[in-house]
């Protein structure tokens, strides 16, 4: 009997100890500062750059980095706007250059103090609110096994009415808007005529990047709007070499993705530390094979073999952000009118 | 007798909560102010009106064609037994949960530029360019999605045919055609207006199909404009306004559809019987066979294309991956509570409606209109885009300090609400019929509440099974709402699929689609058989 009682007491002690140690560990857990980053889903997914960047950052910050993933760049911004000043986000990561103006206007962002002088974007980076984290160029992709007569410029794509083209809607997708700006910087005031010509041999205009790209992979079009880096994915992951980017003698239009800190970040120091981290090696070296984009600083061995075989831009086009935010609506209407004729 | 009896108060409270949340969340949308233009500038854009007329036109055509094919096919499926018939019917109920993009790719594999059909035609020396992109493609995809749905609902309305009528037709020596003309058709006709409205609204607010197969912004719908206003222009007032326009137009169509179709009532006669003694002839056999073959030739190939990834190594790899099962778990964690919630709301609707039907039977004053209104009120839900509903709910809850921790409950709620129209459609006719048959018996013997439910259970369980099956698979397949509230913790199966496709992993995405459809099939079977019992309906 005595024995049994002591056994029970021992068990109770064990349970108590277990509970206590749990409470202690919970306490430690709670005291670890947390950083919440809103981003788009493919960035945070298991095969995206997110998880590795999380590990790299947590190794030096003694904190916990949490991603909240939304469906698109537009989704991130909508969410932050809906939440307003009480947003749980410390950082928004994954807005594109075209959303920058609207995001600044919302008054929800804080200025950064990151030194961006080493940034390798086409034109020197100067922005008080945003830090770029990766870059790429919009391009039309073709399948070399199927398309023999390859165009060499955007103009040849537009004017070759035999060529079946798929692109994305500028109203609902980033590449679509990229093409709109690309067309505008190549054709200027004659863009509406060019859109009209293009619409004669457009297979379809999809809502997002993946709808169009999947249709292209099924053979529904000769060329599809994507990025110059797309072929690298097929080479590195699938070992397929037939997908290539159409060269653009007029120059490519760049895509730059940016991050910003929120004014009401719960932990401003930690958020600022992350903003600095974006331009460090621990972040940038994961970009190439995680996000299939180019890093924005010079890093050693950051790029796998396949990236050197990609179409390199001879010339890069660009429109001022101020002009874009002012004219965007008008240009979308111009496109809409031209292609619904 | 007071208007409401205390017995229906709990049900009335559920309905009141349901309506209050709906109105409050939509109201929250209208409180948002922006400096962008007024409603007048939105409505004066000619593009919106072009969209509207195209939406109406394609929705009308899609609906008419879907129903037109569904009627003969239903009759064939009612009369003929063949191997795989049950499986086919289960497949039919899944057409609503196949992720749109996956179905579109399935259609492309068959009808596309390098598709099987054009390869086959080239093989026999016919050069045809299938005009997949444009109105034709939209109609093709919409018929693919909605014709099976129409068949399901028509079949259901035909299960209400009393055995006595079929017996009588047999005694009178009706031919196969006569049975269709004089027995099946009148029953089908009764459900046509509601099927028409259901499919019309699904097509009217169709989104991904129209954008992918439409061939450009010329073919677009109002729903696209709503999505765009909400997600890319951050113009909530414009999105609300366009939603109102959508509701107004659909209500107008609904008004005309119901106005010019005669009011019909189901028979009160006793339990149904599916034994078929109809006189057969070789002519009717040939006609039935060819209808069936044509339908299968149209419907099956894209399904086969969707299922082919199941035979790849990648499929096994996907099945063994942990994230896959995590996504399955999340999906089920959303779908089951949302199904329960949906059933609770639906039964509350039914309880109140039955109470008024009971009153109409005994009193001079008719309350049937109320029961009818409840039955059709589900349609209004279909007209409001789920994204708009979720945004409203978010705006309502956020000031209360409920945000992502609460995201899960919002998703469950919105999913339950979105599946309600389908569940009401299945459940209400059966429950109404019970009330009209046994109302006097119940009153005379004072059978109420739980006892009444126990008595009715054998008669209604088939419908309940079918309703819960719809509720669970529709929430499982949903991805519209979850996108707005998405977070790392809430990665459901459809969302996982789109993440994969969104990062070039098209083939793995196709495997997830097979898994999703497979799970839906299993859940569907489970619900219809274990809840539905031995008279299970598919």
Size of interface A-B (CB pairs under 8 A): 141
Question: Can you give the three-state secondary structure of B451-502, one letter per residue?
Answer: HHHHHHHHHHHHHHHHHHHHHHHHHHHCCHHHHHHCCHHHCCHHHHHHHHHH
Chain A residues with CB under 8 Å of B108 CB are 215, 218, 220
Q: Is B537 found in the same domain as B439?
A: yes
Q: Is B285 found in the same domain as B324?
A: no
Name which of A91-105, A117-131, B224-238, B502-516 the model is least confident about. B224-238
Nearest CB among A74, A210, A234 relative to B501 is that of A210
Chain B residues with CB under 8 Å of A227 CB are none
C-alpha R_g of chain B: 24
CA distances from B53 to A219, B60, B241 (A): 32, 11, 17
pLDDT, one tens digit for every residue, chain A (341 residues): 444 555 555 555 555 444 444 444 444 445 688 899 999 888 888 888 989 999 999 998 889 998 888 877 777 888 888 788 778 889 999 988 777 887 888 889 999 988 888 888 888 888 899 999 999 999 999 999 999 899 999 999 999 999 999 999 888 788 998 999 999 999 999 999 999 999 999 999 988 888 889 889 988 899 999 999 999 999 988 889 999 999 999 999 999 999 999 998 888 999 999 999 999 988 998 888 888 889 998 877 668 888 888 888 888 888 888 888 888 888 988 998 888 87
pLDDT in the model for residue A231: 92
Nearest CA in chain B to A202: B215
Indicate yes or no: CB of A210 within 8 angstroms of CB of B109: no
C-alpha R_g of chain A: 24
Where does a domain end: B257, B288, B310?
B310
Alpha-carbon gap: B29 to the closest alpha carbon of chain A (Å): 11
Residues 6+ apart with CB under 8 A from B140: B107, B111, B132, B213
Nearest CB among B215, B230, B394 relative to A203 is that of B215
Nearest CA in chain A to B503: A42
Q: Is B524 found in the same domain as B447?
A: yes
Contact B387, B484 (CB under 8 A): yes
Query: What average pLDDT does this structure show over B378-405?
Result: 75
Q: Cα angle vertex B49, ends B48, B54, to 5°?
A: 100
Indicate yes or no: CB of A42 within 8 angstroms of CB of B212: no
pLDDT in the model for residue B489: 67
Q: Is B374 found in the same domain as B363?
A: yes
**What distance in Å separates the CA atoms of residue B250 and residue A213, rounded to the nearest whole number?**
34
**What distance in Å separates the CA atoms of residue A136 and residue A40, rounded to the nearest whole number?**
17
Name which of A69-78, B99-108, B370-379 the model is least confident about. B370-379
Asked if B46 is an interface residue toward chain A (Cβ–Cβ < 8 A), one would say no
Indicate yes or no: CB of B231 within 8 angstroms of CB of A102: no
Where does a domain end: B290, B310, B330?
B310
pLDDT in the model for residue A145: 92
Chain A residues with CB under 8 Å of B50 CB are 340
Contact A286, A301 (CB under 8 A): no
Indicate yes or no: CB of B483 within 8 angstroms of CB of A237: no
Query: What average pLDDT does this structure show over B212-224?
Result: 81
Name which of A278-292, A310-324, B185-199, B477-491 the model is least confident about. B477-491
CA B534 to chain centre: 24
Q: Could you identify the residue written with the tokens 């990151």?
A: A114
Alpha-carbon gap: A14 to the closest alpha carbon of chain B (Å): 33
Nearest CA in chain B to A44: B488
Residues 6+ apart with CB under 8 A from B25: B389, B392, B393, B395, B396
Q: Is B152 found in the same domain as B104?
A: yes
Q: Is B206 found in the same domain as B155?
A: yes
Q: Is B50 found in the same domain as B21?
A: no
pLDDT surpasses 80 at B479: no
Indicate yes or no: CB of A82 within 8 angstroms of CB of B394: yes
Nearest CA in chain A to B51: A340
Q: Is B318 found in the same domain as B302?
A: no
pLDDT above 70 as % of chain B: 89
pLDDT digits (tens, 9 = 90+) for B339-360: 999 999 999 988 888 888 777 7
pLDDT surpasses 70 at B316: yes
Q: Could you identify the residue written with the tokens 């036109």?
A: B57
CA distances from B200 to A4, B187, B355 (A): 74, 20, 31
Alpha-carbon gap: A231 to the closest alpha carbon of chain B (Å): 11
| Residue B118: its H or E element | helix B116-123
DSSP string, B49-100: HHHHHHHHHHHHHHHHHHHHHHHHHHHHHHH---TTHHHHHHHHHHTTTS-H
Question: Can you give the three-state secondary structure of B94-105, one letter per residue?
Answer: HCCCCCHHHHHH
**What distance in Å separates the CA atoms of residue A60 and residue A277, rounded to the nearest whole number?**
10
pLDDT digits (tens, 9 = 90+) for B434-444: 887 888 888 88
- Exposed/middle/buried for B331, CB within 10 Å: 0-12, 13-18, 19+? buried
pLDDT in the model for residue B36: 54
CATH number of the domain to which B371 belongs = 1.10.3720.10
**B182-212 b/e (C-beta count within 10 Å ≥ 16 → b):** ebbeebbebbbbbbbbbbbbbbbbbbbbbbb
Residues 6+ apart with CB under 8 A from B214: A204, A205, B133, B134, B137, B138, B220
Nearest CB among A164, A204, A292 relative to B213 is that of A204
Residues in chain A: 341
Q: What does pTM read for this prediction?
A: 0.83
Asked if B208 is an interface residue toward chain A (Cβ–Cβ < 8 A), one would say yes
pLDDT in the model for residue A321: 80
Summary mean pLDDT of chain B: 81
Where does a domain end: B260, B286, B310?
B310
Q: Is B343 found in the same domain as B232?
A: no
Residues in chain B: 538
Structure tokens at B179: 């049975």
**What distance in Å separates the CA atoms of residue A172 and residue A170, rounded to the nearest whole number?**
6
pLDDT surpasses 70 at B472: yes
Q: What are phi and psi of A203, to 5 degrees?
A: -70, -55
Contact A99, A81 (CB under 8 A): no
Nearest CB among A42, A74, A211 relative to B499 is that of A42
**What distance in Å separates the CA atoms of residue B186 and residue B191, rounded to the nearest whole number?**
9
**What distance in Å separates the CA atoms of residue B473 and residue B518, rounded to the nearest whole number?**
11
> What's the number of domains chain B is made of?
2
Give the number of other Cβ atoms within 10 Å of residue A232's Cβ: 25
Note down the domain range covering B503: 1-31+312-538
pLDDT in the model for residue A153: 92
| Residue A204: its H or E element | strand A202-206
pLDDT surpasses 60 at B146: yes
pLDDT surpasses 80 at B182: yes
B40 or B213: which leads in pLDDT: B213
Indicate yes or no: CB of A172 within 8 angstroms of CB of B218: no
pLDDT surpasses 60 at B60: yes
Q: What domains are defined for chain A?
A: 30-135+255-308 (3.40.190.10), 137-254+315-339 (3.40.190.10)
CA B383 to chain centre: 12
Nearest CB among A41, A217, A220 relative to B499 is that of A41
Q: Could you identify the residue written with the tokens 């960047």?
A: A53
Q: Is B262 found in the same domain as B179?
A: yes
Residues 6+ apart with CB under 8 A from B402: none
Q: Is B47 found in the same domain as B17?
A: no
B441 or B274: which leads in pLDDT: B441
pLDDT surpasses 50 at B1: no
Q: Is B238 found in the same domain as B341?
A: no
Indicate yes or no: CB of A207 within 8 angstroms of CB of B207: yes
Nearest CB among A171, A215, A336 relative to B108 is that of A215
């Amino acid at each position: 009997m005595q024995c049994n009682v002591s056994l029970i007491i021992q068990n109770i002690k064990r349970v108590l100890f277990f509970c206590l140690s749990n409470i202690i560990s919970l306490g430690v857990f709670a005291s670890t500062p947390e950083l919440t980053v809103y981003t788009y889903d493919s960035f945070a997914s298991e095969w995206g750059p997110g998880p590795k960047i999380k590990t790299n950052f947590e190794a030096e910050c003694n904190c916990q980095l949490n991603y909240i993933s939304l469906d698109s760049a537009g989704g991130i911004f909508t969410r932050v706007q809906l939440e307003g000043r009480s947003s749980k986000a410390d950082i928004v990561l994954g807005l594109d250059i075209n959303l920058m103006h609207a995001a600044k206007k919302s008054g929800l962002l804080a200025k950064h103090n990151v030194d961006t002088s080493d940034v390798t974007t086409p034109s020197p980076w100067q922005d008080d609110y945003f830090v770029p984290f990766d870059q790429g160029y919009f391009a039309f992709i073709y399948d070399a096994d199927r398309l023999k007569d390859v165009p060499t410029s955007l103009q040849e794509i537009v004017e070759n009415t035999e060529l079946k083209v798929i692109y994305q809607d500028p109203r609902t997708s980033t590449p679509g808007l990229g093409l709109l700006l690309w067309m505008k910087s190549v054709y200027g005031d004659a863009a509406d005529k060019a859109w009209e010509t293009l619409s004669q041999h457009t297979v379809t205009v999809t809502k997002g990047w993946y709808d169009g790209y999947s249709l292209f992979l099924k053979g529904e079009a000769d060329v599809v709007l994507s990025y110059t880096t797309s072929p690298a994915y097929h080479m590195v992951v699938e070992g397929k070499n037939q997908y290539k980017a159409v060269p653009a003698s007029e120059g490519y239009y760049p895509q730059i993705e940016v991050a910003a800190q929120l004014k009401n970040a719960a932990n401003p120091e930690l958020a600022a530390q992350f903003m600095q981290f974006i331009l460090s090696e621990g972040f940038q070296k994961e970009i190439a094979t995680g996000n299939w984009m180019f890093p924005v600083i010079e890093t050693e061995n950051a790029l796998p073999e396949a990236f050197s075989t990609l179409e390199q831009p001879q010339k890069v086009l660009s429109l001022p952000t101020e002009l874009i935010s002012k004219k965007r609506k008008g240009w979308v209407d111009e496109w809409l009118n031209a292609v619904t004729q | 007798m007071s208007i409401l009896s205390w017995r229906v108060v709990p049900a009335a409270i559920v309905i009141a909560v349901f309506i209050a949340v709906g109105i409050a969340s939509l109201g929250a949308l209208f409180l948002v102010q922006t400096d962008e233009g007024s409603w007048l500038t939105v409505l004066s854009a000619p593009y919106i009106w072009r969209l509207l007329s195209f939406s109406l036109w394609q929705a009308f055509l899609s609906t008419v064609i879907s129903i037109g094919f569904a009627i003969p096919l239903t009759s064939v499926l009612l009369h003929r037994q063949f191997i795989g018939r049950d499986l086919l019917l289960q497949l039919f109920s899944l057409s609503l949960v196949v992720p749109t993009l996956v179905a579109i790719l399935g259609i492309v594999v068959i009808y596309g530029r390098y598709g099987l059909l054009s390869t086959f035609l080239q093989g026999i020396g016919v050069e045809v360019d299938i005009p997949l992109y444009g109105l034709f493609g939209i109609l093709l995809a919409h018929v693919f999605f909605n014709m099976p749905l129409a068949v399901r609902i028509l079949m259901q309305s035909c299960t209400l045919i009393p055995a006595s009528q079929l017996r009588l037709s047999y005694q009178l020596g009706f031919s196969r055609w006569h049975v269709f003309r004089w027995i099946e058709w009148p029953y089908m006709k009764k459900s046509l207006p509601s099927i028409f409205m259901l499919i019309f609204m699904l097509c009217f607010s169709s989104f991904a199909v129209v954008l992918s197969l439409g061939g450009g912004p010329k073919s677009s719908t109002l729903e696209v404009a709503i999505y765009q206003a909400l997600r890319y222009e951050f113009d909530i007032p414009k999105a609300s306004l366009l939603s109102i326009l959508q509701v107004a137009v659909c209500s107008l169509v609904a008004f005309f559809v119901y106005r010019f179709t005669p009011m019909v009532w189901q028979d009160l006669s006793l339990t149904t019987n599916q034994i078929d003694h109809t006189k057969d002839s070789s002519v009717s056999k040939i006609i039935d066979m060819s209808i069936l073959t044509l339908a299968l030739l149209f419907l099956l190939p894209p399904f086969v294309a969707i299922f082919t990834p199941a035979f790849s190594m990648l499929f096994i790899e996907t099945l063994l991956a942990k994230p896959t099962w995590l996504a399955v778990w999340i999906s089920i964690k959303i779908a089951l509570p949302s199904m329960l919630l949906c059933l609770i709301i639906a039964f509350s609707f039914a309880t109140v409606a039955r109470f008024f039907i009971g009153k109409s039977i005994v009193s001079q004053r008719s309350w049937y209109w109320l029961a009818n209104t409840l039955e059709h009120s589900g349609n209004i839900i279909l007209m409001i885009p789920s994204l708009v509903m979720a945004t409203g709910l978010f705006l309502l809850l956020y000031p209360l300090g409920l945000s992502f921790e609460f995201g899960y409950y919002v998703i469950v709620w919105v999913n339950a609400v979105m599946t309600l129209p389908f569940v009401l459609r299945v459940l209400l006719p059966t429950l109404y019929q019970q009330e009209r048959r046994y109302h006097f018996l119940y009153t005379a013997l004072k059978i109420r509440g739980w006892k009444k439910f126990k008595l009715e259970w054998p008669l209604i369980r088939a419908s309940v099974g079918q309703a819960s099956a719809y509720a669970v698979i529709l929430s499982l397949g949903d991805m519209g709402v979850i996108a707005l509230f998405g977070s790392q913790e809430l990665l459901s199966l459809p969302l996982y699929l789109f993440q994969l496709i969104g990062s070039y992993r098209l083939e793995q995405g196709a495997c997830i689609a097979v898994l999703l459809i497979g799970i839906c099939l299993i859940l569907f079977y489970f619900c219809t058989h274990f809840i539905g019992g031995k008279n299970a309906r598919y």
